[in-house]
Structure 1
Amino acid sequence: MVNNTALNGVDINQLGKTVQAVKDNTALAKCQFRTTTQWISGAHAQTHVQGFYGLGQEDHSRSTPFIIESDEPKALMGTNKGANPVELLLTGLAACITVGLVYNAAARGISLDELKIEISGEIDLQGFMGLSESVRPGFNDISVYCHLKSASPDSDLLDLIEYVKRVSPVHNTISQPTPVEVIFQRL
């Protein structure tokens, strides 16, 4: 008999152990994620993502950093060397919802055959350009389309999506007020 503990590419035994460890010791739940962004030229910047603190310890498992290029499209005076910051925000939201759906589907015994997240957001550049105090510089709205292929009933998939909306860190950060402190430090 084959003991298959993976569902949707997730080791459900390890997932259960990790959740239980956090239940048993809530200090393990505290995480700190970090990035360092270096301006290159114009709108082009490069962000390095490497270490983080999680599950009670500093994690150095990434021997080389992930490097993320950001820029603006030519229409916004960029050079198209990377996605722009709001596209990266949408990317973070899509990736967070994806991992939330995959992990929580596995925990619930829901097999996913296919998953695709499409996101769009509307911004009025008058706010970003400082042309109008009454126009918000950020997104006015964001629409998330979860395309799922699964043998599970729609009701189970809708419950899963609603649950993930409630527990997604990025969804929560975007949809709820989060204090952001910008600190000046001279180089």
Structure 2
Amino acid sequence: MTTTENVETRNGVDVSQLTHTVDAIGTDPDLANFRFRAHNVWLGGGRSRTEMHGFWGAGAEDTSRAEPFVLHGDEPPVLLGSNQAPNAVEAVLHALASCLAVGVTYNAAAQGIDVRSLEFDLEGRLDLHGFLGLSPDIRPGYQHIEVTYRIDSDAPDDVLDELCAHVQRTSPVLDMLRHPVEVSVTRT
């Protein structure tokens, strides 16, 4: 005889697996260490292709991906590209939105909050004087990113506000944007 285990899902998240993961990391802190990797190839002009396949995490090399994920980058014509893909700074906005969406839905699920819909709008302000080397006083990256979101849920506003505050404190991508990250660049 086979039995079907009743899996509680909320917001598309397996809550028991989420709880098990948190408990496992609490018991064995080394399980929290991950190493994500990417490989990029320049394709000419402003175009490039980045592949993400394996990564190391939860104490082992992950082999769950049969094929790599592929992201393409390019520039719009005004920045001398062929407009075949988003540019790198647009990809940063995607990474931030994706991370915030995961943070909201996973944390909401853990707190028993049903999310019916969730949307983010992001705008990054950038001054090309820094990127083009025309002004040492202007940083080459974003000077400001504005994020607005809409969430449809039965939870009261104060609970949703605390959920958003918690997500801002724990979002890896938001943390990387708000605080300097040590990056080493080496030619091999």
Query: Is the pair's TM-score, using the shorter chain for normalization, greater than 0.5?
Result: yes
Unaligned runs of 5+ in 1: none
- What is the DSSP-based 3-state SS (H/G/I as helix, E as strand, rest coil) of the residue aligned with 1:113? strand
Give 1:81's aligned amino acid: Q
Length, aligned pairs only: 184
Relative to structure 1, the CA distance from residue 4 to residue 27 in structure 2 (aligned partners, 3 Å threshold; closer, same or farther) is: closer
Determine the structure 1 residue equivalent to 2:49.
Answer: 46
- 1:78 pairs, out of 78, 81, 93, with 81
Determine the structure 1 residue equivalent to 2:140.
Answer: 137
User: What is the rounded CA distance, in whole Å, between the counterparts of 2:41 and 2:7 in structure 1?
Assistant: 44
- 2:13 pairs, out of 10, 25, 28, with 10
Determine the structure 2 residue equivalent to 1:90.
Answer: 93
Deviation at 1:146, TM superposition (A): 1.6
Unaligned runs of 5+ in 2: none
Deviation at 1:133, TM superposition (A): 0.6
- 1:175 pairs, out of 174, 178, 184, with 178
Per-residue deviation, residues 16-70 of structure 1 (Å, max 9, x unmatched): 0011000000000000001000000011000001101111110011110111010
Calculate the aligned-residue CA RMSD, in Å. Answer: 1.1
TM-score using structure 2 length: 0.96
Determine the structure 1 residue equivalent to 2:127.
Answer: 124
User: What is the rounded CA distance, in whole Å, between the counterparts of 1:46 and 1:177 in structure 2?
Assistant: 26
User: What is the rounded CA distance, in whole Å, between the counterparts of 1:154 and 1:45 in structure 2?
Assistant: 43
Determine the structure 1 residue equivalent to 2:112.
Answer: 109
1:58 pairs with 2:58: no
- What is the DSSP-based 3-state SS (H/G/I as helix, E as strand, rest coil) of the residue aligned with 2:106? helix
**Deviating runs (4+, > 3 A) in structure 1?**
none
Q: Is the 8 A contact 2:7 2:16 kept in 1?
A: no
Deviation at 1:82, TM superposition (A): 0.7
Deviation at 1:4, TM superposition (A): 5.4
Give 2:16's aligned amino acid: N
TM-score using structure 1 length: 0.96
